[in-house]
Structure formats: structure tokens, C-alpha cells
Structure 1
Amino acid sequence: MNSNTGRNAHPSPDVWFNWNSVEAVPATPAPAYAGKLFDETLRDGLQAPNIRNPSLEQKLILVDHMARTGVHSADLGFPGSDPLALKECVEIARYIAESRLPLVQGYAGRTHPADIEAICEIAQQASVHVDAYLFIGVSPIRQYVEDWDLASIQRHVRASAVACRREGVEFVLVLEDAVRCTPEVLAGVYDAAIESGVARLTLCDTVGAALPAGAASLIHWSRRYFLDRGHPVAFEWHGHNDRGLALANSLTALALGCERVHGTILGIGERAGNASLDQLVVNTHLDRHDSYDLKALRDYCDYAAPVLGVDIPQNYPALGRDVFKTSAGVHASAILKAHEKGNLLVKDSVYSSVPASFLGREQEVLIDEASGTNNVKYWLTVNGYDSSNPAYLKKVLAMAKSTRGPLTDEQIRQIIATAE
């Protein structure tokens, strides 16, 4: 038996550390909102066992959708995983360059010479600038399980910075499980980053452990650490959704000045998935922090879902089949009145915080057993019928009350035809 087994079975209390327990102390000066979204669909998103790996042709189409939506940076693969992955990454890099897509190219790898070499190979073969997103686990629980120590992490950071600088690629230091890393360990890692001239650093909520307050505490503390040492760093945020808080944490990171915030289309990814890129796009656009094409986003999601082998839930925010539908009479009454005022945005907003028209959709008022007269009036109005005709109203509503589920447009037309 390993003589260390007894000792190793009882880790130090630090392995249970989480930034959720630390009070946030805001950095000064307060950071300006400068965030851009970073698409991780073709890297972290594809790691999930339930996700279908697209063909190269499909990946290129997904890249087109990213650019059309207005996303301007992405992690496009893990070229060090095998020769085929490297070959595909080179083809993607060439395609982006030849198509002149406004997309900053990132590629992922470990802080390992072989992975760094693969990323540099992309830059050389495709003659493009790339960002090397090199990750290393830093939390005490990861160190305990992997038998790592701070000194070895610091060596990897320094060596990676030297290798990237030598090959002319930008080193982005990605700190896995940063939200469960103690200030003492982070300070040691940050010192190595400062010594190495690191200019971009990604804080990761690798297992989705953070609360928004914990994300804020980590970002504030990290920003202060670098500011106090006179070393400017561009922060990024990478979050997972294990506690259902990836979107909230990512919006917090954007509000606190993180320059790139990561997400995947439809929130795909390991376990409960990553932060949902599409929901970040919708929220960022609606809050007027950045401009995206929401109709192009809808096309992106409609293409990605079958290619990746996922379904879009019918009540999925902004993009689900039923999110702009209502059959409640009180809602129908308000939507009808808004429609009559002739202002599309008012109509879109009276019972929705996301305007359907932004996504190329419309408010849909259904007629079913829960509906009232105003549901029928709305349908008649938007379809060019006389909404004051009592025979139409009576017969359509009577049929709705005796039918399970909403009436179809064809059924309503047949009812009206018999009432004329």
C-alpha cells in the first residue's frame, strides 16, 4: 500500500475554497463596459458526449453564422489533440482568412509544448494571427488530485509565455477552476504571469460553482491585484452552467469589464453545458451594450441544432417555438389593443421583454379552451376578417371550447366559412 494513502485521504481545508464566501472589494477605478462575446461552440461545446461532431464543411458554415451574427472572436478547436484536429484547424484558419471574416481566431491547448507547437503550426501554415488559449488547473482540489504544486504551475506559465513569444502567437493564460482557487495560490500564479508579461487572462468557472457575487469577488480581487502592481491585464470569463447560473455570472463579468466572455450556441457543453452564447447575444443587444443581428442569430441556432444533434426546447428563451405564443384572454386583449395603436414595438413589448420582430417573428395569439373573445378578435383582425361579426366570434369560440388544443388557422377559416 502506498505509504501516503492515509495522509492523502485527508486534504487541507483549502480544497473546499470557493470565492462565493469572499466579500467583493471593487477595484478602482471602476472598469468600463467593454465586453465582447467569444464563441466556444467548436471547442468546449463539442466536448459534451451528447453532441455530434460536425464535419469540416459544417464547421465552416457554423463559422459563417458566427460572423453574420456579429460575434468577432472564437475558440475554433483543440489542434494538439490529434493530427486530424490540427488539419481541420488549419483549414478553418485559411477559410476565415480567405473569406475575410472579421473573426479573431483562438485555439485551445494545455500549457504543454506539444499543444503550443500545434497552435503555432496553424499560424504558420495559414499565415494568420492566432491567440493561444492555454489552460492549466489552479484550484487546491485540482492540485491535490493531480499531485501538482504552485511551483510547477508557475513553471508551466513561464515556459508557455516564452514559447508563444518565440513563435509570435498571443498567449492567453486560462486558469481552470479559478473560482475555487484561494487568493494565496492565485497570487503566486499572477506573479508568474506578471513576470512573463501575460497580457490576457481567462478566469474559469470550470464546474459552474460560482454565484454572481462570487464571480464579482474574484474579478474585483484579480483586477486589484494587477492594478496594484502596475501590470495591465485584459480579463476574460469562461463559465459553466452546473448550478444554472452561467448566464447570470457571464453578464456579471461583462458588467465588470471583462473584455471577452465565453459561451456556446444553445449552451452546449459538458455536464449542464456552458454559458449560452445566444442568450448572451440577446441580452447584450437588448441592453444596448453591443449590436448583434438577432435574425442571423436565429438562423445560427436553427442550423446548429440539427448539426450538433440537439433540440431547442419549445420554451427556450427568445428562440423556442412557443415563446411568442399566448392563449390567455387578458394577454390577447392587451396585444390586440397594442396592435390597434399601429406601433410594432409596443405590440412586441406589451407582454414580452424580447421583441419578436427582432428575431423575424411575430406575436402569436392562439385560440383554445382557455381563450376569450379578444383572442378571436385578434386573429380575425390580423387575418383580414371583420372582427366585429358576432357570428364569427360565437362559432370560433364555441369550437375552441370543445376542442383539445389550439385551433389551427385552417380550422378557423373553415368555421368562418360556415358562419357566412
Structure 2
Amino acid sequence: MEKKRIHIFDTTLRDGEQVPGCKLNTKEKIKIAKQLEYLGVDVIEAGFPTSSPGDYQSVQEICKSISKPIICALSRAVEKDIKIAGSALKYAKRSRIHTGIGTSDCHIRYKFNSTPEKIIERAIQAVKYAKKFVEDVEFYAEDAGRTNNDFLAKVCEAVIKYGATVINIPDTTGYCLPEEYGIKIKFLKENVKGIHNITLSTHCHNDLGLATANSLSGIINGAQQVECTINGIGERAGNTSLEEIVMIIKQNSHLNLFTNIKTKLISSISHLVSECTGMKVQANKAIVGMNAFSHSSGIHQDGIIKKRETYESINPEDVGIHNHSSIILTARSGRAALDYRYKKLGHFLNKNSLDLVYSIFLRYADKKKEISDQELKIILEEANNKGNNNKNRLQHIRRRINVV
């Protein structure tokens, strides 16, 4: 069975930048956009041009700097927005306008003070107007996660009829459970006329920690595009993490899916986005967190040393981490890990020496969070001097490691 390609729509520069305090200037946006192009993303959502003159300029400059990916600009279902988006995209080699409107009862009643019929009409008019500027028009049904499936199908069918080439089904508030979101995508695939002629897209938020799971459920049930961000940054709790969804697809061949992402560039672009945005990556973040390939438990360390796959489903080199798995020495580490780290430093200990060093190591490790290479050398020095019973010398050594 032929594998199905999943298109990666990166919105780091638009939805990702909506994090409070995460303002990027034009130069930083171009730098990130170029790295996204090298990474192999299919679409770069460059910004929301009508939101500010600076965002308009950034979208224009990105269009001039990028050749391969589609450059996408966001707009509301408002003619002014759409016109400005079209103007900002004029230098793009491949362009897309991303326009849409809220479709849930909550949005229709409270955000727009409108009716379902009027919302469908506004959606149609937005798509028709966007087609005057670009051929590729993506329509988003905001809050689709909480939208009745029958009404959502009517909206999708209407905009497809008037030229939408991509339909985005956002779980705007991170409301859906994976099964519910998958059923929604499947329902649209089976009940919307013309749906097989367009690209169906997921856009999931992480309010309940389900963004990646929902996106996965969406593509399993027929969506062909995933909208995501580097490091999972974005509005509130963030968006689907690009590195997570890409590596899930890569590691699970039975899904029969693939992307064009060069995964060995993931670590470097994660660091770049973190540096430019000032958004630190949490240590236990999947794939790109500093602890993602670190091991401190003695049982795990022993397994990793014997065969990496015992406690890692991903090879660190596959995401661009070249110093391999990290064996972190703590009070929970065993002899195997200690011996491994000493060998890395060029010290090969016999069993008796290792037992002596390990007893000293544990005394220090109980008082410190982590033992460094420099401290390992000091521990070895103490072990070598222990037989001499030189109390002054041992006291000096312990002070060097801040353990008395």
C-alpha cells in the first residue's frame, strides 16, 4: 500500500508569535522562515498582515526571501483584511490566503451576534473575494471543535463550491478528545460534496494537552495537512508541536504516512526559535527538551549502556542531537553508569576500584543534584588518597567539591 504524504503547515510566525512577550522583528522572522524552508515544511504562515504595519512588512519580506514553501497570510472574513493579505503576498513565488470565520453556536451567537445562514454567506463571500488575489485559498472554520458536525459540513460544502482549496478544522479551544476530533474529520470526509478534491487540515490547540493526539487522530481519519509550530508554542497553552507530530509519523511506519521534513534539523531550529522568541523549552518537552534523551535512574542507565533502544524509542541523531544519550550521574545512578562515565574520561577501573569509587560517589551524590566530570575527577583523587589516610588532604579534596 502506497504511503500517504502529510503536508506540514508551520504557523510559528503567526499563531506561535501570539504568545505574550514573544514578539519577533522582521529580521528574526526571515531567519526562522529560511530555516523552516531548509527543514522542508510545505507551508509557512508568515503572519496576519492587517494586524500591524510591521506584520505586513514581515510577510512581504518573507515572500521575497523564500522560494519553495507556500507563503500563507491570515485574514478574517473581512474584505479589508483579505485585500491587505493579497497585497502583502504579491512577491510570493507560491501564495495562499487563509481566511475564515467562527462556526460554533458560541461564536455565531456571542462573537458575531448573527445567524447560521448569515455566517455561511459571509464565508462564501470571503472565499470569493480571496480568489481575486490568489488561486490557493484556505478557509478556517474557527471553533470547529465545538461546531455541530452537520452545520460544519454545510459550511465546508459551501466554501468548496466557491473555490476553497484547503479546509481547516481548528479545535480552537483544545476542547475535543482525540476520538471526537477523528470522528469529526471522518464525518466531513464522508458527507461533504467535493471534499476529496481539496486538502483537509487539522489545527489543534493544547489547552488540555491533547493537540498532538488530536492532530494524529485527524490524519488517521483522512486529514492531509497538519498545522503546527516549532516547540509547540502558540496562543495560551500552545499548538500542535511540529517535532512531535513529525516524529510520531516517522517512528510509526504502520501508519503508512510520511512528511518531507528533514528531521535531523529539528534540534537546531528548536534552539533558534527558543532564542529568538525568548520562550525557553521545558526540560521534559518531548523530542527537544534537554531531558528528552537524558537518563538518571540506575536501571535505565544500565539498559541504555547495553542497548540504547531499551529505554529510547527515538535515536537522538534522527533529530540532530549528536552527543547521543546523556547519562546523568545522581544518587539514583548505579555502578554501570559511573563506570561508563569514567571510561568516557579515559579512566578504566577494575571491580575493586569501582566499588571504592562508587561508595565515595554515593556520599557526594546524596548531597548534590548532579555530579559533573570535574567532580568525578576529584572523587577519583579522593579514592586514590584514601589508602594514605591523609585527613588534611581528604578535607581539602572535599572542600573542592563543596561536600564536607
TM-score range normalised by the length of the shorter chain = 0.7 to 0.9
Partner residue in 1 for 2:392: none
How far did 1:419 drift? 4.3
Partner residue in 2 for 1:197: 163
Write out aligned runs for 1:103-122 (5 A).
103-122=69-88
Is 1:275 aligned to 2:245, yes or no? no
Aligned partners of 1:79 and 1:89 also within 8 Å: yes
Write out aligned runs for 1:161-310 (5 A).
161-227=127-193, 232-288=197-253, 289-310=258-279
Deviations 1:136-169 (A, max 9, x none): 0001111110211122222222222322222233
Partner residue in 2 for 1:65: 35
The secondary structure found in structure 1 opposite 2:71 is strand
One-letter code of the match for 1:249? Answer: N
Deviations 1:173-231 (A, max 9, x none): 1110112111342243134224313231110101110111111111011111125x686
Deviations 1:246-289 (A, max 9, x none): 01001112222322101112221222111112222322332352
Q: Distance in 1 between matches of 2:61 and 2:150?
A: 42
Partner residue in 2 for 1:22: none
One-letter code of the match for 1:377? Answer: D
Aligned CA distance change for structure 1 residues 244 and 371 (closer, same or farther; 3 Å) = same
Q: Distance in 2 between matches of 1:375 and 1:278?
A: 29
Q: Distance in 1 between matches of 2:218 and 2:32?
A: 26
How far did 1:291 drift? 4.9
Aligned partners of 1:285 and 1:291 also within 8 Å: no
Write out aligned runs for 1:35-50 (5 A).
35-49=6-20
Q: Distance in 1 between matches of 2:334 and 2:347?
A: 17
Taking structure 1 as the reference length, the TM-score comes to 0.83
How far did 1:131 drift? 0.8
Deviations 1:74-101 (A, max 9, x none): 21100122333212211111111xxx3x
Partner residue in 2 for 1:370: 332
Of residues 330, 334, 356 in structure 2, which corresponds to 1:394? Answer: 356
The secondary structure found in structure 2 opposite 1:166 is coil
The secondary structure found in structure 2 opposite 1:272 is coil
Aligned partners of 2:182 and 2:220 also within 8 Å: no
RCO higher in 1 or 2 (8 Å CA, sep ≥ 6)? 1
Aligned partners of 2:357 and 2:383 also within 8 Å: yes
Of residues 41, 52, 57 in structure 2, which corresponds to 1:87? Answer: 57
Partner residue in 2 for 1:4: none
Aligned partners of 2:8 and 2:259 also within 8 Å: no
One-letter code of the match for 2:314? Answer: V
Q: Distance in 1 between matches of 2:52 and 2:137?
A: 21
How far did 1:360 drift? 2.1
Q: Which segment drifts farther, 188-197 or 77-86?
A: 188-197
Deviations 1:362-408 (A, max 9, x none): 22223332222212222123333214252244224423333322211
Q: Any stretches of 5+ residues in structure 1 without a counterpart?
A: 1-29, 339-346
Q: Distance in 1 between matches of 2:195 and 2:262?
A: 38
Q: Distance in 1 between matches of 2:364 and 2:54?
A: 59
User: Structure 1 residue runs of 4+, over 6 Å off?
Assistant: none
Q: Distance in 2 between matches of 1:186 and 1:379?
A: 58
Of residues 78, 90, 111 in structure 1, which corresponds to 2:48? Answer: 78
The secondary structure found in structure 2 opposite 1:89 is helix
Q: Distance in 1 between matches of 2:19 and 2:333?
A: 42
Q: Distance in 2 between matches of 1:123 and 1:357?
A: 37
Q: Percent identity?
A: 24
Aligned CA distance change for structure 1 residues 165 and 286 (closer, same or farther; 3 Å) = same
Partner residue in 2 for 1:353: 313
Is 1:384 aligned to 2:337, yes or no? no
How far did 1:418 drift? 4.9
Taking structure 2 as the reference length, the TM-score comes to 0.86
Q: Distance in 1 between matches of 2:93 and 2:262?
A: 26
Partner residue in 2 for 1:313: 282
Aligned partners of 1:42 and 1:59 also within 8 Å: yes
Aligned partners of 2:356 and 2:383 also within 8 Å: no
